């Protein structure tokens, strides 16, 4: 089956924040996660989106301030989409983590039996708390047994299940370990946060203002955008494209 993408939350920002020479008008961005059912392994999550772990309850001061600044409005959670497919949290075989920003990992603790597939953890682990927080990474959101359940993408074949159904796509620049996915059967790419808007990639208009501060490496980000433009015969899904 083709993966299903849903919005865990929405965030409203001026368009010019996420698009070079964009309008002053505000746009409502999605915060997507994906659910895909592998024919042998069952449901696979692609990220978990924003959840109540970010917006409420006991949290560190940096995470509380982050949530107050971003002000996400929660929407569909992964459990809702899984239930519509006849599954529960314990049925999830794996969670593919495109990168470790809070809007991609906040629900990990709700899937205690899933393998966690991600790149970049050794580099992030070596960073100071301030370095991580500056880039929107809060390790308090990770499960207590994260390292035991983690399978680093660095040691895996790009063909994740060995059957050609799901292929990793290196898309560095936005964050440490930032990785996309390709479903060859469907000619579908999930590019996560390679850019916030499809328009920024297609028209080569990455934001030039404050949003640049988020990038781990701006030159690599631009190279990733060029790589995506070469895949113009594929459908490309981004995490934050505006909600219609």
Both structure tokens of 193: 């946060």
Is residue 209 over pLDDT 90? no
CA distance 131 to 225: 25
Query: Which tens digits make up the pLDDT trace of 20-75?
Result: 988 989 999 999 999 999 999 999 999 999 999 999 999 999 999 999 999 999 99
Q: What domains sit in the chain, N to C, each tagged with a CATH number?
A: 4-238 (3.60.15.10)
Confidence (pTM): 0.95
CA distance 139 to 233: 37
Confidence of residue 77 (pLDDT cuts 50, 70, 90): very high
DSSP secondary structure string for all residues of 116-178 = EEES-HHHHHHS-HHHHHHTT--GGGS-TTHHHHEEEGGGS-SBTTSSSS-EEEE-TTSSTT-
Confidence of residue 89 (pLDDT cuts 50, 70, 90): very high
Both structure tokens of 69: 């600044």
Closest CA to 199 of 10, 27, 8: 27
194, HSE (Cβ side, Cα atoms, 13 Å) = 29
DSSP secondary structure string for all residues of 66-117 = HHHHH--EE---HHHHHHHTT--GGG--EEE-S---HHHHTTGGG-TT-EEE
DSSP for residue 243: P
């Amino acid at each position: 089956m083709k993966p299903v993408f849903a919005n865990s939350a929405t965030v409203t920002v001026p368009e010019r924040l996420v698009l070079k020479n964009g309008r002053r008008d505000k746009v409502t961005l999605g915060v997507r996660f994906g659910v895909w059912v592998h024919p042998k392994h069952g449901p696979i999550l692609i990220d978990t989106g924003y959840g109540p772990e970010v917006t409420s309850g006991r949290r560190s001061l940096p995470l509380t301030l982050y949530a107050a600044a971003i002000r996400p409005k929660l929407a569909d959670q992964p459990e809702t989409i899984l239930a519509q497919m006849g599954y529960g949290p314990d049925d999830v075989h794996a969670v593919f983590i495109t990168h470790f920003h809070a809007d991609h990992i906040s629900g990990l603790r709700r899937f205690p039996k899933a393998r966690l597939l991600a790149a970049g953890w050794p580099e992030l682990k070596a960073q100071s708390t301030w370095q991580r927080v500056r880039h929107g990474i809060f390790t308090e959101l990770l499960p207590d047994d994260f390292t035991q359940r983690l399978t680093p993408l660095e040691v895996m074949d790009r063909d994740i299940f060995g059957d050609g159904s799901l292929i990793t796509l290196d898309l560095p620049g936005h964050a440490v370990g930032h990785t996309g996915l390709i479903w060859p059967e469907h000619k579908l790419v999930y590019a996560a946060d390679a850019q916030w808007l499809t328009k920024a990639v297609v028209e080569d208009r990455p934001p030039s203002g404050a949003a640049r501060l988020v990038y781990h490496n701006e030159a690599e980000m631009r190279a990733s955008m060029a790589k995506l433009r070469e895949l113009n015969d594929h459908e490309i899904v981004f995490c934050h494209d505006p909600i219609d």
